[in-house]
Amino acid sequence: MDEQGSAAVGGFRGQVTLDGPSGTGKSSVARDVAARLGAAYLDTGAMYRAATVAVLDAGVDLTDTDAVTRAVASADIQVGTAADAELVRVDGVDVAARIRGAEVTRTVSPVSAVPAVRRMLVDRQRALVAEADAVVVEGRDIGTVVLPAATLKVYLTAAPEARAQRRADQLGVTDPTKIAEIAADLRRRDEYDSSRADSPLRPAVDAVVVDSTGLDRDAVVERVLDLARTAVGAA
Ligand SMILES: Nc1ncnc2c1ncn2[C@@H]1O[C@H](COP(=O)(O)OP(=O)(O)O)[C@@H](O)[C@H]1O
Ligand SMILES: Nc1ccn([C@@H]2O[C@H](COP(=O)(O)OP(=O)(O)O)[C@@H](O)[C@H]2O)c(=O)n1
């Protein structure tokens, strides 16, 4: 038993994927699970957000997919894989705070729908994963496209109102008009991410779907750790 009162998954080796829409708890759960497993952690959304910073700074027309691709290809995008420290840099500049801002959040879905951008970032994601014996990777297409042979695939869902409220709480937003704007942004990104032709957001056929609506963060973490124990036992 560890200090949090549950058995750790000792010597875990393998890949855990966490996919799902915004506000379902992917980042927070993935970080906690990685820390408990002693695994690396990769936030692929941060990579698409960093790519979006490069596109915004290049000032290109977002509908010009060749120009978007060139802007991403010529940027030096660095994302760390430690669960306890966020490292996101574009051309050596720390953009960890900027990637969470409204401008990037508004623009990231069209940038991430460009197939050539996805190919570049998926190659990077697989290379980063290959460096780790144990890794937790979160995003939209990790179980379906990036790591189809992962040890455990989890697809997180939650009711749209719960997701919007969580995001509002996280940002310290209490104004109902602003909460409605957050909910509208989540709907827009859900729609964009689920309907794109390349790597749409959807559960892998062999993913375990976990609905976090009525669960707190720790309960979801415990559920994923239980699933990881079972997956390792079954391997
Ligand atoms: N099961 C949960 N219940 C309530 N709040 C949660 C839960 N999981 C995560 N949160 C909180 O909701 C917010 C958004 O979670 P986050 O991990 O960023 O989601 P995602 O990566 O899916 O967008 C964070 O403040 C997080 O602490
Ligand atoms: N593997 C991934 C991860 C993110 N994304 C894109 O990047 C955006 C931001 O991802 P994120 O994980 O940071 O978003 P949140 O869930 O934190 O709001 C998503 O809305 C997708 O458009 C993607 O296309 N594929």
Alpha carbon distance 222, 174 (integer Å): 30
| 233 contact partners, CB below 8 Å, separation of at least 6 | none
The verdict on the CB of residue 112 being under 6 Å from ligand 2 is yes
Q: For 10-32, how does the pLDDT look when each residue is reduced to its tens digit (9 = 90+)?
A: 688 999 999 999 999 999 999 99
Give residue-wise pLDDT tens across range 100-144: 998 999 999 999 999 999 999 999 999 999 999 999 999 999 999
**Given this model, what pLDDT does residue 224 score?**
98
Q: Residue 8 C-alpha to ligand 2 middle, in angstroms?
A: 29
**Ligand 2 pocket check for 22: Cβ under 6 Å:** yes
101 is in an annotated binding site: no
Residue 36 in this model has a pLDDT that exceeds 50: yes
Residue 1 is predicted with a pLDDT of 39
- What's the CA-to-centroid distance between 217 and ligand 1, angstroms? 7
Atom of ligand 1 nearest to the CA of 21: 22
The finding on whether 141 has its CB within 6 A of some atom of ligand 2 is yes
- The pLDDT value recorded for residue 232 is 87
Query: pLDDT band for position 9 (50/70/90)?
Result: low
User: Which of residues 2 and 207 earns the better pLDDT score?
Assistant: 207
Q: What is the pLDDT of residues 184-198, one digit of tens each?
A: 999 999 999 999 999
**Alpha-carbon torsion, ordered 107, 217, 19, 170, to 10 deg:** 0
Q: What per-residue confidence (pLDDT) applies to 233? A: 79
Ligand-binding site membership of 24 (annotated): yes
44 Cβ closer than 6 Å to some ligand 2 atom: yes
Query: What per-residue confidence (pLDDT) applies to 7?
Result: 45
Residue nearest to atom 10 of ligand 1 (CA): 25
Q: What is the pLDDT of residue 94?
A: 98
In this structure, what token pair is assigned to residue 57? Answer: 């700074």
Measured by CA distance, the residue closest to atom 5 of ligand 2 is 45
> At 4, is the pLDDT very low, low, confident or very high (cuts 50, 70, 90)?
very low
